[in-house]
């Protein structure tokens, strides 16, 4: 009896999960249908399967170059954040009783409370002053500045859990501080780096408002701002809209399917601590 | 020796510190300064007008309307995450293939871009030809116009935001539930507590740290909401951030919009502190 009850519960949970994902199902099946078929039977499986929508979307929204732009922006921003934040966190974590480092820590931590919009509005002016507006370095530095606080916070907490005896063995061997950090400490930070990369990588890839204003409307759009403006020109052609939507999400969904556990723990850990 | 150590530390700190200073600290300082001026963001001259921007905000109809929308969005989404989210987490907090499938399914929308989710739901909620109305008319009821009024739009978009982020908050709750030791349930059972009593007296009090995190996150996210409203309801309904960004870049009111985002920032900090203060009272030791 009890076993039956559990199975009934499981059955209902699975049914609810499937209902929960109907919007995604609709986006997927309708991206391979002709426009007339979407209007006629939006929830049915495709009668006349076609990849024409993807071809049209790929060409008209210039998806290839959007992928390239987003990939470059996301990966270089992440490299910069991982590099700067881990180095910054190291002396802070190792001098936790020193007042100077404590002040530095709190000063940088304050950045975590500031909404990106507060930074974005004046950033347009500072980036223009530095001749970085409408450039990739401009948005990359914007992300580095905005997300450095979270990165430093996560790394500092993590480095504190690593025993100092590891460095002491390096000091005896006569290695300098840089070698100790990159050869001994940095490899141990892998779990933390994974959190930072998944958490911030997803944010940067999916980000909408900053690239819209920092990169401007001419060229160098990211995948999100690119499909946003492309869809604006064919709003009601849902077959093409869905093809755009699927193309924009595909890289992240593929990564998610391969690393579900890391995504779930990385995203929640990043947000809770951050 | 100590000097050399300090110098080495400085080389670790400086690169990050400089980036933070130039791309974070300077913009914030500028934002503070702009908020005291009547600068339009373009011309080379401007006047320092003190706090006049801030006093203007509170009689500005379009700003106050955006505050109302932001409050609707924040409250609706926060209530959904922190009631249904806890219930769902409690239902899914078991091992097994079926449960893992459900956990992954619920989490999936959280990895999608808000822009993507907004377009999908713009289609779902269409009055003519949208999936929801397709189903509603199929069971014999009249179609619903999800965009009938400004309030309706605010609630519709709140529902969409909740759908997208629900899995995230639920996953946090599942992680929090895992920290509650099983023995506590065992001894509650021995004391004769039923499922609801166990939930009320064991789960809820021990879940408080998770609730603190989630309520603060959900309120801060709600107050900062931009993307969903911007894509789903362009030019009809504004949140505070949409209002501020539009003022800054479309109406060239740099000074005024700087004061709007500062008011938002201070509200977020104050509300979070109040939440921490309240939740501290509920936390228990075991």
Closest by Cβ to A260, choosing from B25, B104, B175 = B104
Read out DSSP for chain A? -HHHHHHHHHHHHHHHHHHHTHHHHHHHHHHTS-HHHHHH-TTSPPSS---HHHHHHHHHTTHHHHHHHHHHHHHHHHHHHHHHHHHHHHHHHHTTT-HHHHHHHHHHHGGGGS-HHHHHHHHHHHHHHTT-TTSHHHHHHHHHHHHHHHHHHHHHHHHHTS-THHHHHHHHTT--HHHIIIIIIHHHTHHHHHHHHHHHHHHHHH--HHHHHHS-SSS---HHHHHHHHHHHTTT-HHHHHHHHHHHHHHHHHHHHH-HHHHHHHHHHHHHH-
% of chain B exceeding 90 in pLDDT:
62
Tell me how far apart the terminal alpha carbons of chain A are, to the nearest angstrom. Answer: 45
pLDDT interval class at B229 (50, 70, 90): very high
**Which among B221, B236, B254 is positioned nearest to B66, based on CA atoms?**
B236
Looking at residue B170, what is its pLDDT? 94
| Residues of chain B neighbouring A39 (CB-CB closer than 8 A) | 129
pLDDT mean over A141-152? 95
Q: Is residue A174 predicted with pLDDT exceeding 60?
A: yes
Contact B102 A241 (CB under 8 A): no
Residues 214-233 of A with CB under 8 A from B: 223-224, 227-228, 231
Residue B145 in tokens: 């116009």
- Decide if A170 touches B, using CB distance below 8 A: no
Q: Is residue B197 predicted with pLDDT exceeding 90?
A: no
Looking at residue B196, what is its pLDDT? 83
Residue B254 in tokens: 């740099």
Angle between helix B150-178 and B61-92 (nearest 10): 40
Looking at residue A197, what is its pLDDT? 92
Residues 66-95 of A with CB under 8 A from B: 80, 83-85, 87-88, 90-92, 95
| Residues of chain A neighbouring B249 (CB-CB closer than 8 A) | 124, 213
- Decide if A102 touches B, using CB distance below 8 A: no
Looking at residue A204, what is its pLDDT? 94
Q: How far apart are CA A54 and CA A243, in angstroms?
A: 5
Contact A121 B16 (CB under 8 A): no
pLDDT interval class at A234 (50, 70, 90): low
Q: Which residue has the tokens 């969903």?
A: B228
- CB neighbours of residue B32 within 10 Å: 14
Q: Is residue A217 predicted with pLDDT exceeding 80?
A: no
Q: For residue A11, give the chain B residue with the closest CA.
A: B98
Q: For residue B257, give the chain A residue with the closest CA.
A: A121
Smallest CA–CA distance, residue B107 to chain A, in Å, is 8
Q: Is residue B2 predicted with pLDDT exceeding 80?
A: no
Q: How far apart are CA B49 and CA B37, in angstroms?
A: 5
Smallest CA–CA distance, residue A234 to chain B, in Å, is 12
Position with higher pLDDT, A157 vs A172: A157
pLDDT interval class at A246 (50, 70, 90): very high
What domains does chain B contain, in order, with CATH numbers? Answer: 61-282 (1.10.3720.10)
Contact B163 A23 (CB under 8 A): yes
- Decide if B168 touches A, using CB distance below 8 A: yes
Closest by Cβ to B24, choosing from A22, A111, A202 = A111
Q: How far apart are CA A149 and CA B32, in angstroms?
A: 20
pLDDT mean over B152-162? 96
Q: Is residue A1 predicted with pLDDT exceeding 70?
A: no
% of chain A exceeding 90 in pLDDT:
56
Q: What is the pLDDT of residues B32-86, one digit of tens each?
A: 999 999 998 888 888 888 888 999 998 999 999 999 999 999 999 999 999 999 9
Distance of CA A18 to the CA centre of its chain: 26
pLDDT interval class at A273 (50, 70, 90): low
Position with higher pLDDT, A166 vs A63: A63
pLDDT interval class at B188 (50, 70, 90): confident
Looking at residue A224, what is its pLDDT? 93
The answer to whether A262 and A188 are in contact (CB under 8 A) is no
Contact A146 B28 (CB under 8 A): no
Read out DSSP for chain B? -HHHHHHHHHHHHHHHHHHHIIIIIHHHHHHHHHTTB---SSSS---B-TTHHHHHHTT-HHHHHHHHHHHHHHHHHHHHHHHHHHHHHHHH-S-SHHHHHHHHHHHGGGGS-HHHHHHHHHHHT-TTT-HHHHHHHHTT-PPP-TTSSHHHHHHHHHHHHHHHHHHHHHHHHHHHHHTS-HHHHHHHHHTT--HHHHIIIIIHHHTHHHHHHHHHHHHHHHHH--HHHHHHSTTT---HHHHHHHHHHTS--HHHHHHHHHHHHHHHHHHHHHHHHHHHHH----
Closest by Cβ to A249, choosing from B116, B163, B223 = B116
The answer to whether B100 and A260 are in contact (CB under 8 A) is no
Who contacts A63 (Cβ-Cβ below 8 Å, separation ≥6)?
Answer: A57, A223, A226, A227, A244, A247
Closest by Cβ to B102, choosing from A17, A123, A224 = A17
**Chain A to chain B Cβ contacts (< 8 Å):** 239
Smallest CA–CA distance, residue B201 to chain A, in Å, is 24
Residue B158 class from Cβ within 10 Å (0-12 exposed, 13-18 middle, 19+ buried)? buried
| Residues of chain B neighbouring A248 (CB-CB closer than 8 A) | 113, 115-116
Looking at residue A41, what is its pLDDT? 79
What domains does chain A contain, in order, with CATH numbers? Answer: 73-213+260-273 (1.10.3720.10)
Q: For residue A255, give the chain B residue with the closest CA.
A: B111
pLDDT interval class at B155 (50, 70, 90): very high
Closest by Cβ to A27, choosing from B120, B217, B245 = B120
Residues 20-59 of A with CB under 8 A from B: 20-24, 26-27, 39, 42-43
Q: For residue B21, give the chain A residue with the closest CA.
A: A145
Q: What is the pLDDT of residues A255-266, one digit of tens each?
A: 988 888 888 877
- Decide if B264 touches A, using CB distance below 8 A: yes
Q: Is residue B179 predicted with pLDDT exceeding 80?
A: yes
ipTM of the complex: 0.90
pLDDT mean over B210-237? 92
Q: Is residue A274 predicted with pLDDT exceeding 60?
A: no
Looking at residue A79, what is its pLDDT? 97
Q: How far apart are CA B105 and CA A10, in angstroms?
A: 14
Q: Is residue B1 predicted with pLDDT exceeding 60?
A: no
Q: Is residue B286 predicted with pLDDT exceeding 60?
A: no
pLDDT interval class at A36 (50, 70, 90): confident
| Residues of chain A neighbouring B265 (CB-CB closer than 8 A) | 113-115, 118
Angle between helix B114-124 and A22-31 (nearest 10): 90
pLDDT interval class at B21 (50, 70, 90): very high
Of A26-35, A234-243, B173-182, B239-248, least confident by mean pLDDT is A234-243
């Amino acid at each position: 009896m009890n076993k039956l009850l559990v199975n009934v519960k499981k059955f209902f949970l699975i049914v609810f999960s499937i209902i929960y994902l109907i919007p995604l199902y609709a986006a997927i099946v309708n991206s391979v249908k002709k426009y007339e078929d979407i209007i006629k039977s939006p929830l049915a499986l495709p009668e006349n399967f076609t990849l024409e929508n993807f071809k049209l979307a790929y060409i008209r929204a210039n998806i290839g170059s959007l992928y390239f732009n987003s990939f470059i922006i996301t990966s270089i921003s992440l490299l910069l954040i991982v590099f700067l934040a881990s180095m910054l966190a190291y002396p802070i974590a190792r001098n936790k009783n020193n007042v100077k480092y404590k002040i530095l820590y709190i000063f940088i931590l304050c950045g975590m409370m500031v909404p990106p919009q507060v930074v974005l509005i004046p950033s347009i002016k500072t980036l223009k002053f530095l001749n970085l507006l409408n450039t990739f370095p401009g948005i990359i530095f914007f992300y580095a500045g905005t997300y450095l606080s979270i990165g430093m916070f996560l790394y500092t907490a993590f480095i504190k859990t690593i025993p100092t005896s590891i460095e002491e063995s390096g000091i005896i061997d006569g290695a300098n501080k840089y070698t100790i950090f990159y050869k001994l400490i940095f490899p141990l930070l892998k779990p933390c780096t994974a959190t930072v990369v998944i958490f911030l990588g997803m944010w940067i890839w999916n980000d909408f408002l900053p690239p819209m204003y920092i990169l401007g409307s001419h060229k160098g759009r990211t995948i999100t701002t690119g499909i946003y403006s492309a869809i604006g020109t064919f709003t009601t052609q849902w077959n093409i809209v869905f093809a755009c939507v699927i193309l924009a999400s595909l890289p992240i969904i593929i990564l998610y399917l391969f690393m579900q556990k890391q995504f779930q723990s990385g995203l929640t850990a990043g947000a809770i601590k951050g | 020796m100590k000097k050399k150590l300090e110098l080495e530390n400085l080389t670790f700190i400086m690169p990050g510190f400089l980036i933070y200073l130039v791309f974070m600290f300077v913009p914030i300082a500028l934002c503070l300064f702009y908020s005291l001026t009547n600068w339009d963001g373009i011309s080379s001259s401007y006047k320092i007008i003190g706090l006049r921007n801030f006093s203007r905000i509170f009689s500005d109809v379009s700003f106050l309307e955006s505050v109302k929308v932001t409050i609707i969005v924040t409250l609706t989404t926060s209530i959904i995450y922190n009631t249904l989210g806890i219930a769902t987490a409690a239902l899914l907090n078991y091992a097994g293939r079926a449960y893992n499938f459900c956990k992954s399914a619920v989490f999936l929308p959280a990895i999608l871009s808000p822009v993507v989710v907004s377009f999908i739901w713009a289609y779902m909620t269409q009055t003519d030809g949208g999936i929801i109305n397709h189903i509603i008319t199929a069971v014999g009821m009249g179609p619903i116009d999800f965009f009938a009024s400004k309030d309706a739009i605010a609630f519709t978009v709140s529902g969409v935001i909740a759908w997208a982020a629900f899995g995230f908050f639920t996953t946090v709750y599942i992680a929090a539930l895992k920290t509650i030791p099983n023995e506590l349930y065992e001894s509650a059972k021995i004391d004769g507590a039923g499922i609801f009593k166990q939930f009320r007296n064991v789960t809820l009090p021990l879940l408080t740290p998770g609730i603190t995190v989630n309520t603060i996150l959900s309120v801060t996210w709600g107050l900062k909401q931009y993307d969903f409203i911007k894509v789903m309801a362009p030019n009809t309904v504004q949140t505070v951030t949409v209002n501020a960004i539009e003022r800054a870049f479309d109406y060239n009111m740099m000074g005024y919009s700087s004061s709007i985002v500062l008011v938002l920032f201070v509200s977020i900090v104050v509300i979070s502190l109040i939440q921490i203060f309240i939740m501290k009272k509920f936390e228990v030791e075991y």
